[in-house]
Structure 1
């Protein structure tokens, strides 16, 4: 229960108790019935207000616990999905390396091929590998020839085709 709710509930209970004592005292003193009914309504309203605040506070607490449980479940599902994605990434990288082996790519050609798959331009690959763009272009041509494809797009499509086919 939030501090504000505790304070309001406490005040309503105090009002209820004080008015209950007043109603009982007024009844024994013979005060007119309309006055006793009026103060009894205050007692009843105070009790209902206190019960309402307590009920809503408990409902809110249950809802927060439910949300915490859902959050914990979501975190575990996310962790599991992340592990599965990492495994899939590793499996895909392994499959790519195996295919490079079947094509008998040299280590330099494999490096260029991976950077091509990552979308780097020939100039960028040259900068990354600290080689001339012409050398990268020749290595890329050798990769395409060994893979039996016409160019970069076919090369990338060779690896992605199974992921986008219905």
Structure 2
């Protein structure tokens, strides 16, 4: 907006300068004065043209950035939808595994909180039970899952993801070494 005002003012100055130069010529003003005013007119025209070009260029850049931002927002929305869906599928798979191990509803709640990384004290506060109760439930959970503790329990659910990632890394390294050869 500011640029448009400046361009408008320069256009107005150009018009007044043209009128002044034609008046000076008719009045017989010395040539050096007319040349000076003509030079100012040319510089004003150049400035107005530069500002106009710059305004158009920046306007196009802003439109392109707005379009890229809109596309990025759409991708984020799509990713958020995919993440929600993946989260639901993963939670369902974890729940199914808990049922396979024969966890009670109470044990399932504690197990989910363990997977989320809460301490025994935090789980006890969330579930409004004693920390000793949570520890006993955790021991039962580890026994039913045939693991030796919290880390192994959490790792049990991450192992498949890590193996796939390691296989992807190995495949990429093999492809890179093949290209280099």
Whole-Å separation in 1 of the counterparts to 2:146 and 2:54: 70
Q: Quote the offset at 1:11 in angstroms.
A: 2.6
Count of aligned pairs between the two proteins = 164
How do 1:64-143 residues align onto structure 2 when only pairs under 5 Å count?
64-143=62-141
Distance 1:116 1:20, change over 3 A: same
CA deviations 1:72-113 (Å, max 9, x no partner) are: 111111111111111111111011001111111111211121
Q: Which moved more, 1:20-29 or 1:79-88?
A: 20-29
Superposed CA RMSD in Å reads 1.9
* TM-score of the aligned structures, taking structure 1 as reference length: 0.87
Q: List alignment gaps of at least 5 residues for structure 2.
A: 167-181
TM-score (normalised: structure 2): 0.80
Q: Distance in 1 between matches of 2:32 and 2:77?
A: 67
Higher deviation after alignment, 19-28 or 115-124: 19-28
Provide structure 1 residue ranges, at least 5 long, that are not aligned to the other structure: none
Q: Distance in 1 between matches of 2:99 and 2:156?
A: 15
Give the Cα–Cα distance (whole angstroms) in 1 for the partners of residues 26 and 123 of structure 2: 99
Shift of 1:116: 1.2
Name the structure, 1 or 2, with higher relative contact order (CA <8 Å, separation 6+): 1
